[in-house]
Chain A
Amino acid sequence: MMDLLNLQPATAEIFLALASLGLVLVSAFVAPQEKASKLVRRLTLISFAIAIFLTIYNGSTPAYAFNGQFFTSSFMVYMKVIILLGAMGILLMAKRELKQDQIDRPELPLLMLLSVVGMMLMVSANDIIVLYMGLELQSLPLYVIAAIRRESLRSSEAGLKYFLLGALSSGLLLYGASLLYGFTGHTSYDGIKIALENDVSPGAVIGMVFLISGLAFKISAAPFHMWTPDVYEGSPTIVTAFFAVVPKLAAMTLFLRFTYGVLADASDSWQQIVMIIAVLSMLIGAGGAIMQTDIKRLMAYSSIAHMGYALVGVAAASDLGIGAVMLYMTIYVISSIGVFAIILSLKQEGRPLTRIEDLAGFSKTHPVYALAMMVLMFSMAGIPPMGGFFGKWYVFSAAIASGHVMLAIIGVLASVIGAFYYIRIIKVMYVDDQVISIDSHIPRSNTMIALGAAVVMAVFLFGLGILREQITAAVPFVVFVAG
C-alpha cells in the first residue's frame, strides 16, 4: 500500500512515545529525585505542547497510516487537542501536590505521559487490535498512579480496585472485539463496517454489547460506575483530577467512533443500550451525589451524571449527536479542571481538605475563588447563561431531533435533581459560617486555571458560534473516508 511508510499522520504520537522513552532515561540518570521530578514534569509539559502543535499541523487532513490501521482527521485532531490540553492543565497544577503528598517522583508525570500516548492511539485507532493496544497503554499507567501513594492504605485500595475492575472491563471489551472479529472476519474498522452493512448477525450483536459494556466501564457510566466514587476518593486529588478529565475524553471519543463509525449500520441494536446506560447514569449520578459529604465523591457522581448527558447525544445516532457530544465533553473538561483547581487549593496547613463542609465561609476568606466556584457550579448544573447550559442544549436537541423526546425529558428532570447538590455547594460557601481556616496561599497555576475556567464558562455564549463552526466542520470525519 502507498501509505505503508507514510508516518506523517502519526507524528505527534511517535514524538510523544519517543519523548516518554527519553524521559525514562532522564529520570534514571538525574539525581536527586526532587530535581529529576521537577525536570520531568517540565519536559512533559513541553512535550505536550509540542504534541499539540504536531497534531494540528499534521493531522487535519484525513489520512491513514500504518497500512490503514491508524486514521486521523479534523475530528481526531479536535479530540486529541482537548486531551492534551486537559493533561497539561492537570500537570500544571501538580507541582505543589507532588511535594505535599510525598509523591514527588518523576514517575507520575511520566506515567501520565504514557497514558496520554495510549489515549491518542485509542482515538486514532482504525483496527481493533491497535485499539486494544492503545487502551491498555492508557489503562496500565493509570492503575499505577492511582496507587502511587503506596504508604497510604486508601490509595493502595483505590489502585487495586481500579486495576481489578479495569482489567475486567478490558476483558469484556476484548471479548466483544473477538466476537465481532469472529462473526465479521475483520479486525479493521472498515472491514467490520462493510461486513455489518450486509447483515448484522446475532453473534456480532453480542460482541457489540460486550464492547459497549467495556467502554461504559471506562467512562464510568451506570451500571458500570461502582468503582468511580471509591477510586476518586482514595487516589491523591491530583490523580483524581486526571481521572475525571482525560481518560473520559479518550473513552468517549472511542465510544463515538465505534457507535457512529463501525456500528453505524447496526444503530438499531446499540441505540437502546446506550439510551438505557444514559438514563441510568443521569439518574444514579444525580441521586447518588445528593447524600455525599466528600467533595471528591461528589465529583465522582457528578461525572457519572455528566457521562449520562453526553451519552444522550450518542444515543441520538445522528451527526447532530456527534457535534453535541464533542461540545459537551469540551465544556465538561473545562469546568471539571476549574473545579479541581479549586478543590486542590483547599488546604489546612498543607493538609488537603475534601469535605464539602470545609468550604463553609469560603466566600469570606477567598471571595474571588468562591465566585469562580459559583460560576462553575451553575455551569455544571446547566443554568444559563453559563457554558454548561449549552452542552445540555445541544445533546437534548440532538436527542429530540432523532425523536427521543422521553429521553430528553428524563434528562432535564435529572438535571433538576443535579442542580440541588451543585447549589448546595454554593450555599455552603456563601451562607454557612466558617469552621475551618483554609490556607490563604494558593499557587498561581491553580488561580489561573480556576479563574480561567470560570471566565470561559461565564462568557461561553460569545465564543459558541465559532466553536460550533469548528465542530460542525469536524463531525463528518468521525467515520473514515471511503477509499
Chain B
Amino acid sequence: METTTWPVLTVLTFLPLIGVVFLLLIRGDEDVVSRNARNVALWVSGFTFLLSLILLINFDPTYAGYQFVDKGEWLAADGIGFMMGVDGISMPFIVLSAFLTPLAILASWQSVQHRVREYMIAFLALETLMIGTFAALDLVVFYLFFEAVLIPMFIIIGIWGGARRVYSAFKFFLYTLAGSVLMLVAILVMYNTAGTTNIPQLTDFAFDPDVQFWLFLAFFASFAVKMPMWPVHTWLPDAHVEAPTAGSMILAGVLLKMGGYGFLRFSLPMFPDASVTFAPMIFVLSIIAIIYTSLVALAQQDMKKLIAYSSVAHMGFVTIGIFSLNIQGVAGAMFQMISHGLISAALFFAVGVVYDRLHTRDIDAYGGVADAMPRYAVFFMIMMLGSVGLPGTTGFVGEFLVMVGAWQANILVAIFTATGIVLGATYMLWLYRRVVFGRAEKDEILTLEPLNQREIFIFVPLTILVIWYGIFPSGILEIMDVSIMTVLDQMDLASMELSGNSQIAITGIGE
C-alpha cells in the first residue's frame, strides 16, 4: 500500500461538503440565493473534478495495491477504522463521478427554478457520497456512503421530480434499502467471523465456502437491486421517468455502477467459491435482462423509460462480463460501465433538452427535430450509436470485450448476449428515427429553439470522450488492467486454497 503525505482522497471526498457549508451561508432574496447557489455548486464540483484529475495523473497503473491510502482512528473499541484508498477498479469511477456532477449541475441550470439552494446541496452531498463509496477501504465506511446515497437521491426525486415522483421516490428508496439491509447482515457476519471490517484484510481472509454461499447471496441482494438486474429492476424505469434530468444523469451514470463495483470489490475477491457457483445463475438472469428488457424498451412510448430499460439491458452485459471471470470479460464489464456512464448521462440529457422545450417525453409528440435542431441531432446520433455499440465509440469496446470474455466462459451465453446487441440497435435506431427524422409538421417542433451554448458545452466533452476512448480504449484499460488481474489472481488462489479445485483456474489468465 502506498500512502501519501497529505490525505488527498479524504479531501477529494469531502470537498463538495465544504461547498454545502458555503451554500448554507448564502443570504439574500430568492433570486440572489439561486444564482449564487448555482455558481457555488458549479465551482466546487468543477474544482473537485480538477482534483480528481490530479489524482488520476499521479495514479500509478502498474502498482497492484491500493494507492493514496488514508487511515484514521475511528471506533478503536470495536476494531473498526477509517480507511480510504484507490486502485485501478475504483479510480475510473471516482473520476467519472467527479466529471458527471458538474455536468449534471449545468444541466439543471435553467430547468430547476424552485428551491435551488436545496437542490444544489443535495447534488454536492451526493457527490461526496459517490466518491466516498468508491474510495472506502473499510466495509463500515463503505456501507455508510453506499447507503447514505439514498437520502439525497430520495430527496432529488421526491421534490424535483415529475407527476408521480412520490411513488417513484418511495419505490426507489424501499427497494434499495431492502437489498442493502441484507448486505448489512452479511457485513455483520463477516465482521464477527473475521474480526475486522478492513477491506484489504477481508480480501485475504478465507471464508468457509458454506458461509460464502450465504454471504454472496446477501451481497447479491444489494448489488442486484442497485445494478439493477432482472427481476428487481422495476424501480429503475419509475425512478428515471420521474427524476429531474440531472438526477437521471447521475442515477444512470454513477449510481448503477455501484452494483458492478460492489461485485468486483467484494463478491469476487471475498467469496470466490460462491462466485463460481452462482455464475450460471447470473448468466441466466443477465440474459433474461438483456433480451426481455430490450423487448420492453421496444414497446415504450416514453423516451426516458426507453432509455431506462436500455440501461437495464446494458447492465446485463456488465454482469455477464464480470461473472465470465476472465480478464477480457471483467475488463469489458468495467469499460462498459464507464462507457454507459458517459453515454446514458448524455442520452438522458438529450431527453431533458427537448423536454425542457416541449414538456413532454412522449415519442409521438416529436418527429423531425433535426429540422429545427441540427446540432442536437448530431450529438444525439453519436450517443445513440454509442449506445448501440458502433465501432469507434466506447460502447463497442465494452460490448466486444464482454462478448470475448463470455465466449471463453460459455459459448451459449455469448450467443444470447449477441442477440441483445441486435435488439439494442433496433430500439435505439427506431427511437432516433421517430424523434429526429421524418418531416416536422407540427408548429411546436418547427419553432424549437436550437441548442444553446450551455447545452453544447455539456454535450461536447461527453462526445469527445465517447469517441476518443472508442478509438483509443487503452487509455482506460491500462488504468484498470493490473487491478483486475489482481482480483482474478486472488480469486484463483483463494479457490485453490479452499477447495483444491484448480479447474476453476480462470481460462483468461496468462493468455
Residues on A lying within 8 angstroms of B by beta carbon are 378, 383-385, 389, 393, 396-397, 400-401, 405, 408-409, 412-413, 415-416, 419-420, 423-424, 426-427, 430-431, 461, 464-465, 468-469, 472
Stretch in B43-51, B170-178, B380-388, B462-470 with 4+ CB within 8 Å of A: B170-178
Give chain B interface residues in 66-115, CB to chain A under 8 Å: 73-78
Which B residue's beta carbon lies closest to that of A414? B181
In the complex, are the beta carbons of A412 and B182 less than 8 A apart?
yes
Q: Does B150 lie at the interface of the complex (its beta carbon under 8 Å from any beta carbon of A)?
A: yes
Q: Does B379 lie at the interface of the complex (its beta carbon under 8 Å from any beta carbon of A)?
A: no
- In the bound complex, CA of A464 to CA of B82 (Å): 13
In the complex, are the beta carbons of A416 and B178 less than 8 A apart?
yes
- In the bound complex, CA of A378 to CA of B155 (Å): 12
Q: Which one of A384, A396, A426, A430 contacts B185 once the chains associate, using CB atoms below 8 Å?
A: A396
In the complex, are the beta carbons of A468 and B78 less than 8 A apart?
yes
In the complex, are the beta carbons of A383 and B77 less than 8 A apart?
no
Query: Closest approach, in angstroms, between the C-beta of A463 and any C-beta of chain B?
Result: 11
In the A-B complex, list the 9 residue pairs whose CB atoms are closest, starting with the nearest.
A412-B181, A384-B144, A468-B77, A400-B188, A416-B178, A401-B192, A384-B147, A472-B77, A385-B144
- In the bound complex, CA of A468 to CA of B76 (Å): 9
- In the bound complex, CA of A427 to CA of B184 (Å): 26
A-B residue pairs in contact (CB < 8 Å), sample of 8 = A385-B144, A389-B147, A396-B185, A397-B191, A401-B192, A420-B170, A461-B144, A469-B77
Query: Closest approach, in angstroms, between the C-beta of B173 and any C-beta of chain A?
Result: 6
In this complex, the member of B148, B178, B181 whose beta carbon has the largest number of chain A beta carbons within 10 angstroms is: B181
In the complex, are the beta carbons of A400 and B144 less than 8 A apart?
no
Residues of A within 8 A of B155 (CB): 430
In the complex, are the beta carbons of A419 and B78 less than 8 A apart?
no
Give chain B interface residues in 135-179, CB to chain A under 8 Å: 140, 143-144, 147-148, 150-151, 154-155, 158-159, 165-166, 169-170, 173-174, 177-178
Q: Does B189 lie at the interface of the complex (its beta carbon under 8 Å from any beta carbon of A)?
A: yes
- In the bound complex, CA of A431 to CA of B170 (Å): 12
In the complex, are the beta carbons of A464 and B75 less than 8 A apart?
yes
Which A residue's beta carbon lies closest to that of B181? A412
In the complex, are the beta carbons of A423 and B154 less than 8 A apart?
yes
In the complex, are the beta carbons of B75 and A468 less than 8 A apart?
yes
Q: Which one of A384, A397, A424, A465 contacts B192 once the chains associate, using CB atoms below 8 Å?
A: A397
- In the bound complex, CA of A412 to CA of B180 (Å): 9
Query: Closest approach, in angstroms, between the C-beta of B207 and any C-beta of chain A?
Result: 14
Residues of A within 8 A of B75 (CB): 464-465, 468
In the complex, are the beta carbons of A431 and B185 less than 8 A apart?
no
In the complex, are the beta carbons of B170 and A415 less than 8 A apart?
no
Residues of A within 8 A of B189 (CB): 400, 405
Which B residue's beta carbon lies closest to that of A468? B77
Q: Which one of A385, A409, A412, A427 contacts B170 once the chains associate, using CB atoms below 8 Å?
A: A427
- In the bound complex, CA of A468 to CA of B77 (Å): 7
- In the bound complex, CA of A424 to CA of B173 (Å): 11
In the complex, are the beta carbons of B166 and A384 less than 8 A apart?
no
Known A397-B188, A461-B144; judge A415-B159 contact (CB<8 A). no
Known A400-B188, A419-B177; judge A385-B148 contact (CB<8 A). yes
Which A residue's beta carbon lies closest to that of B146? A384
Give 7 A-B pairs besides A393-B140, A423-B154 with Cβ atoms closer than 8 angstroms. A384-B143, A426-B154, A427-B158, A427-B166, A427-B169, A431-B165, A468-B77
- In the bound complex, CA of A400 to CA of B211 (Å): 13
Known A412-B184, A431-B158; judge A400-B77 contact (CB<8 A). no
Residues of A within 8 A of B140 (CB): 393
Residues of B within 8 A of A423 (CB): 154, 170, 173
- In the bound complex, CA of A401 to CA of B184 (Å): 14
- In the bound complex, CA of A416 to CA of B184 (Å): 12
In the complex, are the beta carbons of B188 and A416 less than 8 A apart?
no
Q: Chain B: interface secondary structure? A: helix
Q: Chain A: interface secondary structure? A: helix
Residues of A within 8 A of B192 (CB): 397, 400-401
In the complex, are the beta carbons of A400 and B185 less than 8 A apart?
yes
Count B interface residues, CB 8 Å: 33
In the complex, are the beta carbons of A465 and B74 less than 8 A apart?
yes
Which B residue's beta carbon lies closest to that of A417? B174
Residues of B within 8 A of A461 (CB): 144
In the complex, are the beta carbons of B148 and A383 less than 8 A apart?
yes
Query: Closest approach, in angstroms, between the C-beta of B434 and any C-beta of chain A?
Result: 33
Query: Closest approach, in angstroms, between the C-beta of B283 and any C-beta of chain A?
Result: 27
Residues of B within 8 A of A408 (CB): 185, 188
Residues of B within 8 A of A464 (CB): 74-75
Residues of B within 8 A of A419 (CB): 173-174, 177
Residues of A within 8 A of B147 (CB): 383-384, 389
Which B residue's beta carbon lies closest to that of A465? B75
Q: Which one of A378, A393, A397 contacts B151 once the chains associate, using CB atoms below 8 Å?
A: A378
- In the bound complex, CA of A274 to CA of B182 (Å): 23
Residues of A within 8 A of B150 (CB): 383
In this complex, the member of B177, B189, B191 whose beta carbon has the largest number of chain A beta carbons within 10 angstroms is: B177
Residues of B within 8 A of A384 (CB): 143-144, 147-148
In the complex, are the beta carbons of B177 and A409 less than 8 A apart?
no
- In the bound complex, CA of A339 to CA of B257 (Å): 36
- In the bound complex, CA of A383 to CA of B188 (Å): 16
- In the bound complex, CA of A396 to CA of B143 (Å): 15
Which A residue's beta carbon lies closest to that of B165? A431
In this complex, the member of A384, A385, A412, A469 whose beta carbon has the largest number of chain B beta carbons within 10 angstroms is: A384
- In the bound complex, CA of A416 to CA of B158 (Å): 18
- In the bound complex, CA of A393 to CA of B73 (Å): 19
- In the bound complex, CA of A72 to CA of B74 (Å): 30
In the complex, are the beta carbons of A413 and B154 less than 8 A apart?
no
Which B residue's beta carbon lies closest to that of A461? B144
Which A residue's beta carbon lies closest to that of B193? A400
Residues of A within 8 A of B174 (CB): 416, 419-420
Which A residue's beta carbon lies closest to that of B189? A400
- In the bound complex, CA of A400 to CA of B184 (Å): 11
In the complex, are the beta carbons of A431 and B188 less than 8 A apart?
no
- In the bound complex, CA of A420 to CA of B167 (Å): 12
Query: Closest approach, in angstroms, between the C-beta of A456 and any C-beta of chain B?
Result: 17
Residues of A within 8 A of B158 (CB): 426-427, 430-431
Query: Closest approach, in angstroms, between the C-beta of B185 and any C-beta of chain A?
Result: 5
In the complex, are the beta carbons of B151 and A383 less than 8 A apart?
yes
Residues of A within 8 A of B165 (CB): 431
Query: Closest approach, in angstroms, between the C-beta of B139 and any C-beta of chain A?
Result: 11
Query: Closest approach, in angstroms, between the C-beta of B253 and any C-beta of chain A?
Result: 23
Residues of B within 8 A of A472 (CB): 77
- In the bound complex, CA of A409 to CA of B74 (Å): 26
Residues of B within 8 A of A401 (CB): 192
In the complex, are the beta carbons of B181 and A431 less than 8 A apart?
no
In the complex, are the beta carbons of B184 and A396 less than 8 A apart?
yes
- In the bound complex, CA of A378 to CA of B150 (Å): 10
Query: Closest approach, in angstroms, between the C-beta of B1 and any C-beta of chain A?
Result: 23
Q: Which one of A389, A397, A405, A431 contacts B159 once the chains associate, using CB atoms below 8 Å?
A: A431
Known A383-B147, A427-B166, A431-B165; judge A412-B173 contact (CB<8 A). no
Which A residue's beta carbon lies closest to that of B144? A384
In the complex, are the beta carbons of A413 and B77 less than 8 A apart?
no
